[in-house]
Structure 1
């Protein structure tokens, strides 16, 4: 398997039913009615947003892992439009629900895009006799958040990224993901997709 870089963009998409389920917004409640009143307007913002995705096959990644690794895949997902300031403005004007829901919709779209890329990766490596083994992301429990800078540095060797890690090792803008997969020879198993998952305590969904 050769080292290569794959970059593409997709339009952000929302699965409202899954989003509402993850946020415990139930039909017939006052919260549901309030969210419905602003959802269409926020959807227009989301639908105009593109998400940049990239994955890079490489023989090396500067981490000491307790597993045998044939190759690494460095992954990057980021919204090209930074909606954090817009959400903050809404909240500062007292439109708390609208600002909160916008942030959640962006996070949902990011994870949905990530799932789409992961499926593409899985299909690419399956043709070459490989499978995804483990996923590592800064701050996910397996890796300290301080590794965020290292992930960004490795990405910058291959592609242009418009993210950075601040003094608290938090990625800016926050509506971005960096992670790696280790891959080994074998047949891949089905992996649960993030945007269909109802586990709201999952660390991968904590983008603050």
Structure 2
């Protein structure tokens, strides 16, 4: 475990336009469409989507979360898009191409979320199928359940600096910014969760992916 996996990118135009509230009735629809197609052509050279995880004993002095207090192990996970797509987004804004700047940033948000979803199958195969540890649903650092400062712990547990060139700021934000750190509980005496994550148990009420 703790290998780095390359993850293919997955983006859907209809999902992007829905999140940006772009419809065919918009007088600038064709401009949005041209911008999307131009960005889509550039994506392969801008992305380096990687994932890594580490299964470790749950021996912390203080338990991370009430739903993780009884499990024997924690699966620490990290997914990143790399720095290229954020650098291109910043370049668009510097060029005053605000439409493309906003669009590629929205694309990046979707890409990193999709990558974490797709990476779940790889984690489950290794942790559950091969090693017999059933997994809970996903939990992520936030400001009310697991503190945002725990992003640093995840980075260190997966050796993200060395393996994926991810660093962290004094405010506990990852760099590259399009990076996710999250975790699962794991134990041989629990049942495998029926799904990867559930918005009901997440305290981030303003997340745009919340259902």
Same fold (TM over 0.5): yes
Match of 1:89 among 84, 88, 91: 91
Match of 1:22 among 19, 23, 29: 19
- How far has the Cα of 1:79 moved from its partner? 1.5
SS in 2 for 1:108: helix
Matched with 2:151 is 148
Match of 1:11 among 8, 12, 16: 8
Distance in 1, matches of 2:165 and 2:86, equals 15
Residues 55/47 of structure 1: CA separation in 2 closer, same or farther (3 Å cut): same
Q: How does 1:22-101 map to 2 (within 5 A)?
A: 22-48=19-45, 49-60=47-58, 62=60, 64-65=63-64, 66=66, 67-101=69-103
Q: Are 1:137 and 2:135 counterparts?
A: no
Q: Which runs of 5+ in 1 are unaligned?
A: none
Matched with 2:194 is 189
Residues 35/14 of structure 1: CA separation in 2 closer, same or farther (3 Å cut): same
CA contact (8 A) 1:115 1:193 kept: no
CA contact (8 A) 1:13 1:47 kept: no
Distance in 2, matches of 1:35 and 1:200, equals 29
Aligned-residue CA RMSD (Å): 2.9
SS in 1 for 2:171: coil
Distance in 2, matches of 1:86 and 1:114, equals 22
Residues 200/84 of structure 1: CA separation in 2 closer, same or farther (3 Å cut): farther
Aligned length: 198
Matched with 1:105 is 107
Distance in 2, matches of 1:159 and 1:54, equals 11
CA contact (8 A) 1:25 1:32 kept: yes
